[in-house]
Amino acid sequence: MVDWKNTKKWVAGGVLTAAVAVGVSLTGGTQAHAAVDDATPMPSIQGKQVLVGYWHSWKSTGRDGYKQGTSADIALKDVNAAYNVVPVSFMKGDGVNRIPTFKPVGLTDSEFRAQVGALNKQGRSVLLALGGADGHVQLQTGDEQAFANEIIRQVETYGFDGLDIDLEQTAITAGNNQTVIPAALKIVKNHYAAEGKNFLITMAPEFPYLKPGAAYQSYITSLTGYYDYIAPQFYNQGGDGVWVDETSQWIAQNNDTLKKEFIYYMADSLIHGTRGYLQIPADKLVIGLPTNNDAAATGYVVNPQNVFDAFTMLKNAGTPLKGIMTWSANWDAGKSSAGVSYNNAFANTYGPFLGTK
């Protein structure tokens, strides 16, 4: 087994990657020193609200939005400062090996690590997002240690501060993902806990998967006591929603007229494990909203006051939420089909509200 505690090494100012990462001993009497750079710490999110903005690791193809807008090409280090948690999209299968991986596009390992470090230096967390809408992952029983080793290699190489489970569609239940992934993440969490660090474990399930017996239940159950927050996607689910006995009405995700009510009752249902949903503690619940109409087919909140009011209602009920997640930081900096910049409106609206900007 690779001795991962000794993988983050520096000699003569250069990062030892290949030799050390595969456990090859150093020769010639050279003494390696544990790396201490800006990407080394794992910033804490304990006791503070978060604004989570996903970052695209690929180049925009142009007119890639639901309304034919164009997402922005931005460097990781240039993600709007209001986003204090930035998941990097995506870790996934490479078509050859079963263990998913990640490699930055157009940057060397050290260049990408420096960008992670730039955010860490500001107290911002950078996560590695697993899966995505088209990222198939299919692990098998026995892959637990190999997957844990790959996650740790990613952390040691690039400085990631945690992993976000963003599996969708068939990947959620493919192979033995539901048991292998939680087991591997526990190995990683415990590994860094032994170093005095909190490796973040987060999830971003589409909200219909958060019902008893639904696909994400096993992840949540297995990782209870380990996960740091769950950010249900309150978008792209059309008419799915929640039945509210108190008002005798079905409140659908795509009902813009009842947006405040949808956010409030969905969050309240999850916090208390009622109305047909699993339970997620308020201090670990982050609501997921699209950045604009180009970022998702449905779910964009036209009037932010609906979000503010829902958060206030939950706070007054003694159940303040952990924060807000959005897809994505690149869309926030993108432009509409008419070429009008979105001008980071999401970050500029919700950052001050949450106190992250």
E strand or H helix that includes residue 201:
strand 200-203
Query: Quick check: 311 and 291 in contact, CB under 8 A?
Result: no
Strands 249-252 and 241-244: antiparallel
What is the residue whose two structure tokens read 């030799």? 19
Token pair of 324, please?
Answer: 């807000």
Q: What H or E segment, with its residue span, contains residue 53?
A: strand 50-53
> CB–CB of 236/298 below 8 Å?
yes
Q: Helix (H, G, I), strand (E, B), or coil: what is residue 4?
A: helix
Which of 144, 150, 168, 261 is catalytic? The answer is 168
Residue 270 to residue 262: CA distance in whole angstroms? 12
In angstroms, what CA-CA distances link 326 with 128, 155, 157, 215?
Answer: 15, 23, 26, 22
Question: Whose CA is closest to 107, among 149, 55, 62, 145?
Answer: 55
SS3 (DSSP) at 271: helix
Whether the upstream peptide bond of residue 90 has omega within 30° of 0, thus cis, is yes
For the question of residue 168 being annotated catalytic, the response is yes
Catalytically annotated residues? 168
